Amino acid sequence: MLKRSKFLWVLLVGALFFSLLVGCSDTQTDEGSGGDSDEGTSDEGSSDDAIDVGIILPTRDEPRWVQDEQRFRDAIADSDYTTEILFSQGSSANELQNVETLISRGIDVLIMSPHDGDAAGAAAKAASMEGIKVISYDRLITNTDAVDYYVTFDSFAVGEAQGQYLIDNTDGSGIPLYLYAGASSDNNAFLFFEGAWSVLQPKIADGTFVVANSSAAEELSSKNELTRDELGQILNQVTTNWDPNEAINKAQTHLTSAGAELKGDVAVLAPNDGTARSIADTFSSDSEVTSYVITGQDAEKASIQYIIDGKQSMTVFKDVRRLVEDAMGMAITILDGSDPETTGSYDNGSVDVPALQSEVITVDQANVEAELIESGYYEASEFTGLE
Ligand code: BGC
């Protein structure tokens, strides 16, 4: 009897221990993949199978990256190679853990869009030391030699298109210009702003625009080419950190402190669609703002609806199908033992990273149907108000 209850006791403790272990490994995967290991897995085999390509995206909280996830899934549906997609959920620690998970799963190629370009160096290094080829995806991993390739859109051109749109769609002079930017931990935020500044600066210098919310931009208004440090000074004042809520707070603060001369018909440089919608909502609820022209990027569905409804002026369409195709094409070339083709290079602060770059398209009410519906990118039924 005693023996039997001892046996049962051992069984019970064993079962408890086992369930704890399972619990731990779930938690680990959850944290690592940003909260949902099943959805983060796209390979066909069981989670114990080795995988060929690991894909890490920065966050599932922004539609932009959910869009990339979906396009990756579409692209790999019929592939012979196995892949796994994990999200870092805005944390470099999760990102590193995700890379370690993928290394342990035997990947040969890592496609990674970093949460923070500099911090991602450690994760890239860990992969590279295992002989894994690292492809930086959309955002550049900076200040490390552990990046083999970069697949990207022309991010300078994104900013240029935004700035040019504001110039082409406003009239007169002395137009209040509100500047907003992305997160300084993202190299793209610098490129977008640099592109916008390249066209806006002459129009600030000649009085067409009056900067409404950045003393650093005012001080630098006679200089067309800014150093990284100078760009950083402006970004520090007008960053949204890619966070729509931070964008609302900043816009509210700016509008509260702006005098009547900085209201009326205004122009707003918003760095992407997520922040553009929040900033647009904030500006439209200020009774002293009579009209606003506002930029965006990513062609997020919600912003396409805003454009159709006249609440956001434009977006820069970055065809994610193309980016995914380029990244997966590169990965497969590497897996097949060849060197992928590149068209240029980006200095990441440590090395020149061979890069493959794709073009971007300005979209507003005039061409939204042609570019996004007729091209098959979205379905007309996903929107209201389209003729
Ligand atoms: C991407 C944009 C995106 C932003 C915020 C940038 O690096 O290029 O498409 O809107 O990050 O996630």
How confident is the model over 351-376, as pLDDT tens digits? 999 999 999 999 999 999 999 999 99
- 205 and 339 share a domain? no
Supply the mean pLDDT for the chain: 90
Q: Band of the pLDDT at 48, cuts 50, 70, 90?
A: low
Residue 113 CA to ligand 1 center (angstroms) comes to 10
Write out the two tokens for 68.
């990339």
Write out the two tokens for 93.
């620690």
Ligand 1 and 64: CB distance under 6 A:
yes
CB of 198 closer than 8 Å to CB of 288 = no
pLDDT given for residue 37 in this prediction = 38
Q: Which of these, 132, 186, 136, 135, lies nearest to 159 by C-alpha position?
A: 186
Does residue 12 register a pLDDT over 80?
no
Residue 161 CA to ligand 1 center (angstroms) comes to 15
At 10, the amino acid letter reads V
Q: Band of the pLDDT at 87, cuts 50, 70, 90?
A: very high
> Which residue in this structure is represented by tokens 């500047």?
179
Give domain status of residue 22, yes or no. Answer: no
Reported pTM: 0.89
Task: Read off the pLDDT of residues 116-142 as tens digits, 9 standing for 90 and up.
Answer: 999 999 999 999 999 999 999 999 999
Residue 272 CA to ligand 1 center (angstroms) comes to 7
- 331 and 307 share a domain? no
pLDDT given for residue 79 in this prediction = 87
Give domain status of residue 251, yes or no. Answer: yes
Give domain status of residue 21, yes or no. Answer: no
Does residue 27 register a pLDDT over 50?
no
Spatial CB neighbours of 348, under 8 Å, sequence gap ≥ 6: 117, 136, 140, 141, 142, 143, 144, 147, 150, 187
- 309 and 186 share a domain? yes
- 197 and 312 share a domain? yes
The preferred substitution site among 272, 275, 315, 363 for testing ligand 1, maximizing ligand atoms within 8 Å of CB, is 272
- 181 and 298 share a domain? yes
Residue 174 CA to ligand 1 center (angstroms) comes to 31
Among the listed ranges 46-60, 158-172, 176-190, which one has the minimum average pLDDT value?
46-60
Q: Ligand 1, residue 58: give the atom nearest the CA.
A: 12
- 233 and 375 share a domain? yes
Ligand 1 and 62: CB distance under 6 A:
yes
pLDDT given for residue 387 in this prediction = 72
- 116 and 168 share a domain? no
Classify residue 122 by burial, with Cβ atoms within 10 Å: 0-12, 13-18, 19+: middle
Give domain status of residue 27, yes or no. Answer: no
How far, in whole angstroms, is CA 249 from its chain's centroid?
Answer: 21
Give domain status of residue 65, yes or no. Answer: yes
Task: Read off the pLDDT of residues 200-244 as tens digits, 9 standing for 90 and up.
Answer: 999 999 999 999 999 999 999 999 999 999 999 999 999 999 999
Q: How many domains does the chain have?
A: 2
- 114 and 187 share a domain? no
Spatial CB neighbours of 174, under 8 Å, sequence gap ≥ 6: 207, 208, 210
Residue 212 CA to ligand 1 center (angstroms) comes to 24
Give domain status of residue 160, yes or no. Answer: yes
CB of 211 closer than 8 Å to CB of 166 = no
The domain spanning residue 272 has which CATH number? Answer: 3.40.50.2300
- 328 and 312 share a domain? no
pLDDT given for residue 283 in this prediction = 98
Range of the domain at 374: 155-317+362-382
- 164 and 139 share a domain? no
Residue ID of nearest Cα to ligand 1 atom 6:
188
pLDDT given for residue 178 in this prediction = 99
Ligand 1 and 319: CB distance under 6 A:
no
Give domain status of residue 2, yes or no. Answer: no
Give domain status of residue 1, yes or no. Answer: no
Ligand 1 and 298: CB distance under 6 A:
yes
Does residue 153 register a pLDDT over 50?
yes
Q: What is the DSSP string of 98-121?
A: HHHHHHHTT-SEEEE--SSTTTHH
Q: What is the DSSP string of 59-75?
A: -SSSHHHHHHHHHHHHH
- 160 and 244 share a domain? yes
The preferred substitution site among 138, 316, 320 for testing ligand 1, maximizing ligand atoms within 8 Å of CB, is 138
- 142 and 215 share a domain? no
Tell me the chain's radius of gyration from C-alpha atoms: 24
CB of 212 closer than 8 Å to CB of 262 = yes
